[in-house]
Amino acid sequence: MTEAATPRKRGPQAQAARNDRALLEAARQVFLTQGFDAPVSAIAERAGVGMGSLYRRYRTKEELFQRLCADSLEHLATAAQEGLRIDDAWQGFVHYVRQCVAFGFGALAPLAGAIEVTPQMRRAGQEAQHRIDQLIARAQAAGALRPDVTALDISLLIGQFSRQAPTPPLPDQAEVQSRHLAIVLDGLKAHNTDPLPGKPPDLQRYQALWNT
């Protein structure tokens, strides 16, 4: 017996789902370029929806931040799962890093401690962490990724590449970023045997930032 297909959303329900996706994508781009103090009116305008639609979905700016964080963590888990489906462990790891940088995941780091962590955020974070740990362990077991690199090292590295420059991007910005990311990724290969300086970043301390 075949599994029944999930019914498609239609009418007002489908429109609401499209509006929500448009709002999240608009919020991500507005916050990346204008910072988290940007007015919600800029988000509604970019999404092409009215302020009424925005406030019906998100009563406060914090609710929007919370949903945006959960959505980003879900994307993180998806990128890691895609990487695990790639047979070559190193290429799967590289796919994950590049997808996260392109998505701008690390740009949400300043929200740590500024918003309450919801159950949805916590569940999404746990699922993402599980898949990321699998991805990194596989690359290290294959002898492709440095054994002294941690998942938090990779997360913080992605955050560095996700930050937007205060000045308008140059025409070749994407090409330069891709070049620099390739240099960094090469430094993460297992054949680089010089020890890394300092101790690994403290995961518990980093997680505590979200619980304050």
Diameter over CA atoms, the chain: 59
Per-residue model confidence (pLDDT) at position 2? 43
Residue 3 predicted with pLDDT over 80: no
In which residue ranges of the chain is CATH 1.10.10 found? Answer: 9-59
Could you report the per-residue pLDDT of 48-67, keeping only the tens digit for each? 888 888 888 888 888 988 99
Per-residue model confidence (pLDDT) at position 175? 83
Average pLDDT along the chain: 84
In which residue ranges of the chain is CATH 1.10.357.10 found? Answer: 66-209
Question: What are all long-range contacts of 68-71, with beta carbons under 8 Å and residues at least 24 apart?
Answer: 68/24, 68/27, 68/28, 68/31, 68/108, 69/108, 69/111, 69/115, 69/121, 70/118, 70/120, 70/121, 70/124, 71/24
Residue 152 predicted with pLDDT over 80: yes
Mean pLDDT across the stretch 128-142? 95
Q: Note the CATH architecture for domain 66-209.
A: Orthogonal Bundle (1.10)
Could you report the per-residue pLDDT of 16-37, keeping only the tens digit for each? 778 788 888 888 888 877 878 8
Could you report the per-residue pLDDT of 70-115, keeping only the tens digit for each? 988 999 999 999 999 999 999 999 999 999 988 888 777 777 778 8
| CATH number 1.10.10 is the correct assignment for the domain at 9-59 | yes
**DSSP assigned state of 191:** T
Mean pLDDT across the stretch 120-129? 91
The candidate with the shortest Cα–Cα distance to 184, out of 98, 105, 89, is 98
